[in-house]
Amino acid sequence: MDNPTTESNQPLNLDSAAQAFSQVLDAEPEQEREQPASEQNQPAEQQEQPQGEPNASTEPQDQMVTVKIDGKEVEVPLSELKNGYQRQQDYTKKTMEVSEQRKAAEAETQRAQYERQQYAQNLHNLRVQAEAALQSQSQIDWDRLIAENPQEALRQKHLMDQRQAQLQQVYAEQQRVAQAIQADQRQGYQRHLSEQHQQLVDKLPEWKDEARAKAESAAIRDYLLGQGYDTDAVNSVNDSRAVVIARKAMLYDQMISKTDAATKKVANLPTKVEQPGSGANPNLDRRTAAFQKLSKTGRVEDAAQVFAQFL
């Protein structure tokens, strides 16, 4: 039998250290299999839980709340209602933030435009002064001035050259500023058109269909031209409200035209003579009643009802 004391006094090499570490690992499962006496002595009913029984701490059911959607009362979970409200609050907050950012951007754009216009005005004033000074110098009798005062003639010539160079710079700067102002105006007009287009789609959701929007736009254009508007006036319409009003007028005139045609069609129908002993025609009775009502009221709805009887 090996002496453990002797082994413990010897220095560990790599193999002996690995062997000792392996023994420790092999000893761990034995320790894990040992259970405290308190756990071994527990009754079986405490160690085993019956299966299939629901947990006593189940969460309460979500409360249902009655809300009105599209005119109908519907029950929805309270949690869903809260989530929807929170989403609406987030959307409203983001919409307000976007609106504030847009207002801030518009204010900054207006400030920049004002400063550019002020700069353009200053350039104009400088140009007027330089042109006036050069005009005054052009009245100088240079031959006489050179003969009488050569130094003054040289000074005036140098001053004139400076003013001419300055005036050329003013011309170039004025052209640059004018181009910048025109670019701002084009961008502003494009933003206006984009905003009006979005407002038009919001007011006329059916215009989300590009084909329908294009067809109705062409119809409105023809309608306005037919009402006496010239081409320039129609092409310059850039307000969504004007387009909506024009569309309503066009649709109303189309409805009146169809109603008048239906009324004339009813008036021109031949009167059917009933044979003796034949039963009453319910369709004819309805047509007669509808036409008589139209004759009394003259309303568009009654005319449409008359027309419907012949379909």
Residue 271 resides in a domain: no
| Residue bearing tokens 């110098």 | 137
Query: Pairing relation of β-strands 64-69 and 72-77?
Result: antiparallel
Length of the chain: 311
For residue 200, what is the DSSP state? Answer: H
Residue 304 resides in a domain: no
Count of beta carbons in the 10 Å neighbourhood of residue 130: 20
Total structural domains within the chain: 1
Integer Cα distance of 291 and 267 in angstroms = 9
Residue 15 resides in a domain: no
User: What pLDDT is recorded for position 73?
Assistant: 79
Query: From residue 109, how far is each of 106, 118, 175, 182, 208 by CA, in Å?
Result: 5, 14, 21, 14, 30
Count of beta carbons in the 10 Å neighbourhood of residue 305: 18
Q: Is pTM beyond 0.75 here?
A: no
Residue 242 resides in a domain: yes
Residue 237 resides in a domain: yes
| pLDDT digits 0-9 by tens, 196-237 | 999 999 999 999 999 999 999 999 999 999 999 999 999 999
Domain of 236, in residue numbers? 205-263
Integer Cα distance of 221 and 206 in angstroms = 18
Contact residues for 233 (Cβ-Cβ < 8 A; gap 6+): 224
User: What pLDDT is recorded for position 91?
Assistant: 72
User: What pLDDT is recorded for position 3?
Assistant: 46
Residue 170 resides in a domain: no
Integer Cα distance of 229 and 224 in angstroms = 6
182 closest CA partner among 121, 268, 113: 113
Residue 256 resides in a domain: yes
Point out the residues of the chain with pLDDT beneath 50: 1-14, 17-18, 21, 24-25, 27-34, 36-40, 42-50, 52-54, 56-57, 279
Residue 246 resides in a domain: yes
Are 152 and 144 contacting, i.e. CB atoms less than 8 angstroms apart? no
